[in-house]
Structure 1
C-alpha cells in the first residue's frame, strides 16, 4: 500500500468524523487536540514507515568483507553513533560528514543513536494520548447533548409545532434536573485540564526521547537560519544525523576478533527532522491555546459575570437584569448545559428556549428577545396586571 493511500485513509477518517451530524460538546481548542493533533501524529507515523517514499531507512557501506544486508540489519537493530567533538568541523576537509571522523574506540566521546527504531511507535502512541481526553469526555457525556438537541440542530429544524414540542420537552427536562449538572460540568473541565497537561507532558516526553534536545530544538533552528552559511552548523543534523558510524565485530580466519567500521546513511532522518521541528512549533501553539482555554473555563466557573456576558453578547439573549436573574438561579453545570445547547441550536430557537426557561423559573424581569411560545396562548387582563407589577418590582 502506497504512502499516499495510507495517508488518504487517515485523512478520510478525520473528514468523515468532522462532517457527521453530531452534537457539539466541546470547543475549538478541544477539537484541535483529538482531531487535528491526533491526525498529524498518525499521518507522521505513516510517513516514517513508508519505505517507498525515501527508500530503505538505513544503508551502510564498509570494506565489502561483510554482506551489505548483514551490516544494514545489524546497525539498524542495534545503534549507530556520531562524535560530538567533530560536529562543528568543516565538512570535506576536516571531517567526512558532521560528527563522522576517525576515532579511538573506548577513548573518544561518542553519541549513540537508536531512537529511529522507536519513532513510529512514539508517534502512534502520542496520537492515542491526544485522543484519550476526548474519549473520556465522550463516555462521560454519554450522548446527552445529542439526545436533547435531536431534531433542533442546524438551520432546518422542521415545522413550528414540532419545534415547540421538542423545545417544551427540553425545557421540562432542564427544570426537572436543575442543579444536578455539576458532575457533568466537572467531567468536561477535567478533560479540558487533561488536554493542557497532555500537551505539556508530551513535550517533556519527546525531550527525554531525544536526549534532552527538544526544548531548544526550534530555537536552535531559528538561530541557525540567521547565521553565516560558511560557519554555521545545522542543529537538525546534530539531533537527526544523516550519516553516522557503526562498528561491527566478527571473528577472522585465525580466530581473532576483527573490527569493521561502516558509514551508514539514515535517509529516514530527513523526514524525522521535519516532523519534529513542526511538532515543536505546533505543541507550543497548542499549549498556549490550551492554557488560555483553561483560564477561560476557570473564569466561567468562578465569575458569574463572565457567564452573564456570554449569554448577553455571544447568544444575544435578554436584558442585563434578566440574564443576571437567570445566572443567579442556575449553577455552573446548568450554565454549561445551556452553553452547549446554544452551540447546537440556531440563535432564534435558543432565545425561545431561554425565554421559556426564564418563565418556568418565574424570572419576570427578563424581556424576551425572540418569538416565544407565549404567542400560542392568550394573556388575560389579570395576567397583564400581575406581569406589570412584577416588572415594576
Structure 2
C-alpha cells in the first residue's frame, strides 16, 4: 500500500502539462486526485483505527477477542437481516462481504485507470513530431510577455515549429484519380488517417476521448463485481428514496452489522463460533461510493459532450474554416472581399485537422488572442509559400527551446 501511494505521489509531483482540454483534466487530474484522497482516508481508518469490532462470548479473554476481530476481518463476514431469525447453517450459501478489506487498493486502481488515457495521449503525442505541450507552454508565456520584440520572437518561433510539423506531414504531389479522390475525401473527414493525411493527432485525441468515456461508464459496471451488487443503479435508487422521503442508506450494500463464522481448535477438538461484528469502515465506504457514483455519472456526461464536440470539429470543415477566418479577421488579416477559396485552401492543405487541433488546445489553455497572433504568422508564411506549398522541405528537429522563445 505504501509503495502504491508513493507511485501516485510521484505522479502528483510531476510537472503539470497543458496539452489537453478541461474535460480531460477532469478525468486524469481531478478524478484521480479525489480517488487517491479517498484511498488515503480509508487506509487511515483501516490501519490506524478499528475497522471491525466483534461481540464475543463472555468466556473469551482479551487475546481471544483480538483473534476474533482479526480472523473476521480477513475471512469475510456475511450479512443477515436483523428480521431474519434463522441464521444460515455452515453448508448454506451466505451473502458474504468480500470487498471491505480491498477498498483502498480498488480506489487506487480506479485512479490509475483514469490516468492511463492521459499517459497514452502524451506518449503517442510526443511520437507525432510536434510537442503540443511545449507549444502551449510557449503560448502561455506569450501572455505575460510585455516587450513587443520578445512577443514577436515567440510568435515567430511557435509558427516555425508548427510549420515544421505541418510541412513534414504534408502530402507529396501525386498523380492518378485514386490519389486525387483520396485527398479530397480526407479533407472532409477522417476516413484516411495518419500523419500523411494531417489527422494523426485528431484521430489519437478522439480515441483518447473514447477511452475516457469508456472508463467512466465501465467502472460503474466493474464495481458491480467488486461490491457484489447492482452498483450501476445505486445512485438512481438513492434519488428515488430521497424523493420519497425514505432512508437512503443501503443496509444491504454496506451493512454495519454482520456475522462471522470461525473455528477454534482446542485439544484436538474443533469448536465453531458465530459472532456478531460491527463494521464502522462501511460508514466511510457508503459515503465514498455514493459520491463516486454521482461523480462518475457527471464525468461520463462531460465526456459525451466533449467527444461529440471534438468529433464535430474534426469532421465539419465549415467549422474549421469559420474558426480560422474569425481569428484572421480579428487582426484585419483578411476582409470580406478576400477570396474564400484561399482561406479554405489554407485550412485544408496547410493547417489541416492536426493544425486546427493544436490551435484549439492553445486557445483553451492560453487565450484566443495568442491563437490569432499565431494564425496571422502562419497565414503570412502560407501566402509566401503558396505557389509551391505542395512540395515541402525536410527540416531537422522539432523541440522548443527557451532561448528561442525569448524567456
Please give the range of the TM-score, normalised by the shorter of the 2 chains: 0.7 to 0.9
Quote the offset at 1:201 in angstroms. Answer: 1.8
Residue number among 117, 120, 125 corresponding to 2:104 in the alignment:
120
- Partner residue, 2:121: 137
How many matched pairs? 337
- Partner residue, 2:183: none
Quote the offset at 1:228 in angstroms. Answer: 6.2
Quote the offset at 1:34 in angstroms. Answer: 1.0
- Partner residue, 2:375: 354
Distance 1:149 1:34, change over 3 A: closer
Q: Decide whether the 8 Å contact of 1:62 with 1:260 is kept in 2.
A: no
Q: Which has the higher contact order (CA 8 A, sep 6+)?
A: 2
Measured in 2, the distance between the counterparts of 1:349 and 1:140 equals 26
Q: Decide whether the 8 Å contact of 2:53 with 2:69 is kept in 1.
A: yes
Quote the offset at 1:74 in angstroms. Answer: 0.6
- Partner residue, 2:264: 250
Quote the offset at 1:59 in angstroms. Answer: 0.5
- Partner residue, 2:278: 265
Quote the offset at 1:115 in angstroms. Answer: 0.8
Distance 1:65 1:74, change over 3 A: farther
Measured in 2, the distance between the counterparts of 1:258 and 1:26 equals 62
Q: Indicate the SS of the match to 2:51.
A: coil
- CA offset digits 1:236-270 (Å, max 9, x no partner): 211010000011222456x4432211110000000
Measured in 2, the distance between the counterparts of 1:156 and 1:28 equals 22
Unmatched 5+ residue regions in structure 2?
171-194, 386-407
Measured in 2, the distance between the counterparts of 1:268 and 1:239 equals 13
Matched, 1:207 2:219: no
- Partner residue, 1:190: 207
The correspondence of residues 333-344 of structure 1 with structure 2, limited to 5 A, is: 333-344=354-365
Q: Decide whether the 8 Å contact of 1:325 with 1:363 is kept in 2.
A: no
Measured in 1, the distance between the counterparts of 2:254 and 2:297 equals 21
Quote the offset at 1:310 in angstroms. Answer: 3.8
Measured in 2, the distance between the counterparts of 1:102 and 1:285 equals 42
- CA offset digits 1:117-157 (Å, max 9, x no partner): 11111001111111111122222333813433555425322
- Partner residue, 1:306: 319
- Partner residue, 2:160: 172
Distance 1:149 1:25, change over 3 A: closer
Measured in 1, the distance between the counterparts of 2:251 and 2:361 equals 48
Cα RMSD for the two superposed structures: 3.3
Measured in 1, the distance between the counterparts of 2:11 and 2:59 equals 49
Q: TM-score, normalized by length of structure 1?
A: 0.75
Distance 1:309 1:214, change over 3 A: farther
Deviates more, 1:275-284 or 1:200-209: 200-209
Deviates more, 1:311-320 or 1:294-303: 311-320
Measured in 2, the distance between the counterparts of 1:152 and 1:158 equals 13
Quote the offset at 1:312 in angstroms. Answer: 5.4
The correspondence of residues 357-376 of structure 1 with structure 2, limited to 5 A, is: 357-362=378-383
Q: Higher Cα Rg: structure 1 or 2? A: 1
- Partner residue, 1:370: none
- CA offset digits 1:316-359 (Å, max 9, x no partner): 74667475443233321121122233345544443232122223
Unmatched 5+ residue regions in structure 1?
1-5, 365-393
Q: Decide whether the 8 Å contact of 1:249 with 1:257 is kept in 2.
A: yes
- Partner residue, 1:33: 27
Quote the offset at 1:105 in angstroms. Answer: 0.4
Q: Decide whether the 8 Å contact of 1:326 with 1:363 is kept in 2.
A: no
Measured in 1, the distance between the counterparts of 2:76 and 2:366 equals 57
- Partner residue, 1:237: 251
Quote the offset at 1:206 in angstroms. Answer: 0.9
- Partner residue, 2:288: 275
Q: Indicate the SS of the match to 2:280.
A: coil
Distance 1:177 1:55, change over 3 A: closer
